[in-house]
Structure 1
Amino acid sequence: MASIQIRKYRDDDSEAVKEIFTLGMSEHVPSSFMHLLKQPVTQMVLMCTFCALMTSSKSFLLPILAVTLLLAAARQFVVYMFSRYIDTSLRKDLNNIGETYLKQKDSCFWVAESEGRVVGTVACLPSERAPECLELKRMSVRRSHRGMGIAKALCRTVADFTRDRGYAAVVLYTSVVQTDAQKLYEHMGYEKIREFVVPELVAKIINFTLFEYKLYLQRDEKRD
């Protein structure tokens, strides 16, 4: 950690931040695809397609080909959903980080820098759902620099910022497929307080669950 510096975002960090975010989100495509395959509705569609074609065509090759095409289409769907989320984020808050995080009250954006290169990011801003909390956002570390304690340092930076401004807790949201993130947050003292399915119809069908975590900075705060 001696060579790692946590500092506030500067405008010339923009491209590096966008790259780290894009690469980090793209890493979740394989695990999201596997999550999709484990859902009963997916397995039912694949099985029904296979059995129907096997019965009607009397051929083994046709149903295998059909299932293969369905799997390929499912993976492309997952890629599309992540690409849409990435593009939306790049057009919104990540398009003008200074305006979104540095000029707003009780908001900030930090980068982790190693040997002059941005290798990690994190941000926070007041939570829309919990006025007494700041929300941790945009946590990501380059794959080449993981396991060095950078994510933990970024978490502590947000916690210290939140505590200094008199907020009771830090809240964040992560998904069912982000298992490494869940382990990190739980190790840092965050408690899982809620699970819910993304409200979009497709997310409901594939049971894409989000987890809400909370880090209590005042231990006498009443648990929700």
Structure 2
Amino acid sequence: MAEVQIRRYEDDDDEDVKDIFTLGMSEHVPSSCLHVLKQPPTQMLLVCVFCALLASSKSLLLPILAVTLLLAAGRQGISYMFTQYIQTSLHRDLNHIRQTYLEKPNSCFWVAESQGRVVGTVACLPAEMNEGCLELKRMSVKHSHRGQGIAKALCRAVEDFARKQGFPAVVLYTSVVQTDAQKLYEHVGYKKIREFVVPELTAKITNFTLFEYRLDLQQSGN
């Protein structure tokens, strides 16, 4: 692993943390577009539009243009949803990290620092949907520093904290498009225990699934 220090968040880290989170979430737009394109309702819509316009116009240009516009509009829609999620997350906790994670019991926020620069983040707090467990949140590593063991070190920081605080398990949630995150969590010992579709209508139509992972500390060794 690169020379990296895992330490508690400090107020001067604020802008770096928000930049890492925003860029990390924005990276999922292309994979989310691909996921939506793989869904049968999306494929059926595109085929129907193409065939209907081809039959009515007797020309390839109009249906190709229409499908292209639909794809562009779809990408814009997905980008908008991620932008809304980013803004909601900033409002919910990332604009006031100290109050949310450092001034409340059984909560913490860490950053990974390399050569004086913040290159990764992770946080935890008591889980809302799993009483008695700790929830891992806000895991993100700058693209330029991935593959160096930083994410694993951040996971260990949360695990060690949970043990010291006496929690029996750590839980987390990730999405179907975050395949690298799924591999990471499974590699460090988390087990997928549940999957469910986000309740919003758009998510149901596109089968946007969330995965719940759990790390049972008694079974992960000491």
8 Å contact kept, 2:196–2:209:
yes
For residues 3-152 of structure 1, the aligned pairs below 5 Å read 3-152=3-152
CA distance in 1, matches of 2:219, 2:118: 34
2:126–2:133 Cα contact (<8 Å) kept: yes
- Structure 2 unaligned regions, length at least 5: none
Does residue 169 (structure 1) correspond to residue 169 (structure 2)? The answer is: yes
CA distance in 1, matches of 2:169, 2:151: 18
- Partners of 1:147 and 1:208 lie apart in 2 by 27
Structure 2: how far apart are the matches of 1:27 and 1:150? 18
Question: 2:68 and 2:187 mapped to 1: Cα distance?
Answer: 40
What's the CA shift for 1:216?
Answer: 0.5
Residue 212 of structure 1 aligns to a residue in which SS? strand
Amino acid at match of 1:207: N
Hey, what's the Cα distance between the residues in 1 that align with 2:140 and 2:27?
Answer: 11
AA in 2 matched with 1:124: C
CA root-mean-square deviation: 1.0
Superposed, 1:201-216 pairs within 5 Å as 201-216=201-216
1:219, distance to aligned residue in structure 2 (A): 2.4
Deviation of 1:2 after TM superposition, in Å, equals 5.7
Report Cα offsets for 1:17-68 as digits up to 9, x if no partner: 0000000000000000000000000001100000000111111110000000
The 4+ residue runs of structure 1 with deviation greater than 2 A are: none
Question: Following the alignment from structure 1 to structure 2, what is the Cα–Cα distance between the partners of residues 15 and 137?
Answer: 18
Given residue 35 of structure 1, which amino acid in structure 2 is its aligned partner? H
Give a deviation string over 1:49-98, Cα, whole Å, max 9, x none.
Answer: 00000111111110000000000001101100000000111122000000
Secondary structure at the aligned position of 2:129 is classed as coil
Cα distance between partner residues in 2 of 1:141 and 1:130: 26
Give the partner amino acid of 1:111.
Answer: V
User: How much does 1:153 deviate?
Assistant: 0.2
Aligned length: 220
Q: Secondary structure at the match of 2:219?
A: coil
Equivalent-residue separation in structure 2 for 1:81 and 1:41 (angstroms): 19
CA contact (8 A) 2:122 2:138 kept: yes
**Cα separation, 1, equivalents of 2:163 and 2:41:** 45
Paired position in structure 2 for 1:197: 197
Secondary structure at 1:148 match in 2: coil
The Cα shift of 1:131 comes to 1.4
Residue in 1 aligned with 2:178? Answer: 178
Query: Normalized against structure 2, the TM-score is what?
Result: 0.98
Deviations 1:1-29 (A, max 9, x none): 36200000001100000000000000000
| CA distances 1:97-134 after superposition (whole Å, capped 9, x unpaired) | 00000001100000000111000000000001111210
The one-letter amino acid paired with 2:174 is: T
